Chain A
């Protein structure tokens, strides 16, 4: 396996074998990330394609100040955000929050060990695009509401509200109410 430096130098020289090696090395992790940010597998494939194209085209600008994987990850997230901004006008129909009740702050999800990763992914993908992005950026990437607001061009309050709603929906999907009733 090539070192990170060798990968960088090879990709700058546009060596196709090294480009393929870089793709193989990071594709699985990045595809998992794209799946979390997309509503379907096909959309995730498109985002992965666009993201890696941007990686190869702008690899000369990587300054080695942060981790290389972090830089690729950031490009992938930006590709997801770009896709979101481009299709924002299509997302008028948001998920009806009222259908999912109120968020229980004391809720501790347990007993979900048998739940498959694909099930969780499926739940995230079912979220409305805005909710999905905010949830991913806050809960999984660790951005704060101010940063998310700047990324998505929304207010900090909207970010908080969307996160709360995303959690409600996921809680509902996890079957919290049913789970609670059964326990009682």
Chain B
């Protein structure tokens, strides 16, 4: 760029830099019209827009009270959730149960005294909270109305039946009125002829509620105190003849005190931090077996008709390690009992040879003699095979509020520790089958299987769970030694149940 051009640039830059001329009048008007496009605002619109769009109006205090009440349990949950590491034991149900029992007992002087004392204390607490400014939220005023209508058919001379009388008395009792008496009393009270009496209870409650949350360093780290003065108007209306019009005025105060107890530092430090858990389980094992490779149908026929699946008890100690919030692996040691119940009842025919002496031409000679004989085999037996196994499983946990569902898949490897009973052996001669004592030597010492299960874990406490776990185990190897012609595979299904402790 030449020096001359630079000078011109500087001239304009120096002259115009910082120059801020006023925009001609009407430009904004034109621009706003263009921006409006099709929109056509009337001056009435402008008047209301200008005055109302920035307006603010303070809502009445009870609206927040209603919203807070509407948030309900979530309100409490919010408090507890914000206090990480705290163990909360809201004893609401205890107070409610006590109040219920007290209120049920209408004639008890103690009840009246308790109501009077708690009512007075509640009112004092409520006033104090307001006085000291401890009341953290606005009071809530609510008016509730409930209506209960009860129809009672009255026959000539009294109440129709005992059930109706009972219902009516219950209602009258609740209303604070006199119970319906005997037929003689009803005669005077009700119409002479068949009539219908309509009892209605209309209850109106004016509730003033409030509460305070205060943190302290005492044993109770959080105290929630709420007072509920209740003004109740009850009126009863019935048929004119019965003359049962009654009105009651009551003032009652309910007080609820709930505390959140802080755990000790030691407990807080270890609480739910360990990913390990240990479970002690027992199961009812229904074991059955499949046979493969038997050379003779007769053998299979006898076994399938004589042997039945047997339910045995097994035990397991299981260690679980949580990989994440949902994934886990588990292992442990299991004592697994398998077996079958046998009722053998079959016959076998065998050929035998013996030496028989004959006199042939006056000479005594021994000659071999072949014959066939039938042998009965009858024996009942409880066969059992005990394995010590180490399972390895991989699972996923679906958590719900009170329980979790945990499907798992895995393998187990075990060694045979004991074998008892009577088994059907197949002799080398294919025509012969016989019974023989079960021997460990004829069994495969190793057993490998695949497992699937779905556990339901119910939360019984912060660290304790109750487990119920249906499972299926499928053996992958022959339970007999390999030089036998037949291969036998044990499978089992059952339900594990036990307790799990989070470490």
Contact = CB atoms under 8 A, between A and B. Distances in A.
B78 A31 contact: no
B71 A117 contact: no
Contact of A144 (B39, B44, B48, B136): B39
Question: Dominant SS at the A interface?
Answer: helix
Nearest to B39: A144
Nearest to B78: A14
A151 to B, nearest CB: 16
Contacts of B49: 139-140
22 contacts: A14-B71, A15-B82, A20-B68, A24-B64, A28-B57, A28-B59, A31-B58, A36-B52, A45-B59, A45-B60, A48-B59, A105-B42, A107-B44, A108-B43, A117-B55, A120-B48, A121-B55, A138-B45, A139-B49, A144-B39, A167-B42, A170-B48
B70 interface: yes
Contact of B59 (A27, A103, A167): A27
A128 interface: no
B173 to A, nearest CB: 38
Given A13-B82, A14-B74, A14-B77, A32 B55 contact: yes
B349 interface: no
Given A14-B77, A28-B57, A144-B39, A49 B48 contact: no
A74 B47 CA distance: 23
Nearest to A108: B43
The 10 A-B residue pairs whose C-beta atoms are closest, nearest first, are A139-B45, A14-B78, A28-B56, A31-B59, A32-B57, A32-B55, A109-B47, A31-B57, A108-B43, A167-B44
A140 to B, nearest CB: 6
B152 to A, nearest CB: 37
B41 to A, nearest CB: 7
Interface residues of A, number: 42
Interface string A64-96: 000000000000000000000000000000000
B346 interface: no
Given A121-B55, A140-B53, 9 more contacts: A17-B136, A23-B67, A28-B56, A45-B60, A53-B67, A105-B42, A124-B48, A135-B45, A140-B48
A171 interface: yes
A20 B137 contact: yes
A179 interface: no
B52 A117 contact: yes
A28 B74 CA distance: 24
Contacts of A108: 43
Interface of B: 38-39, 41-45, 47-49, 51-53, 55-60, 62-64, 66-68, 70-71, 74-75, 77-79, 81-82, 136-137
Contacts of A117: 51-52, 55
A49 B66 contact: yes
Contacts of B58: 27-28, 31
Interface in A13-54: 13-17, 19-20, 23-24, 27-29, 31-32, 35-36, 45, 48-49, 52-53
B63 A49 contact: yes
B74 A170 contact: no
Contacts of B82: 13, 15
B48 A32 contact: no
B64 A20 contact: yes
A149 to B, nearest CB: 14
A120 to B, nearest CB: 5
A156 to B, nearest CB: 11
A109 B1 CA distance: 62
Nearest to A123: B48
Contact of B78 (A13, A23, A120, A121): A13
A146 to B, nearest CB: 10
Contacts of A170: 44, 48
Nearest to A42: B60
Contacts of A13: 78, 81-82
Contact of B67 (A15, A31, A56, A103): A56
Contacts of B67: 23, 49, 52-53, 56
Contacts of A29: 56
Given A28-B56, A36-B52, A170-B48, A139 B63 contact: no
Contacts of A35: 57
A120 B333 CA distance: 81
Contacts of B79: 16
B45 to A, nearest CB: 4
Interface in A131-177: 135, 138-140, 144, 167, 170-171, 174
A52 B70 CA distance: 10
A120 B51 contact: yes
A71 B79 CA distance: 26
Nearest to A24: B64
A40 B162 CA distance: 52
A16 B78 contact: yes
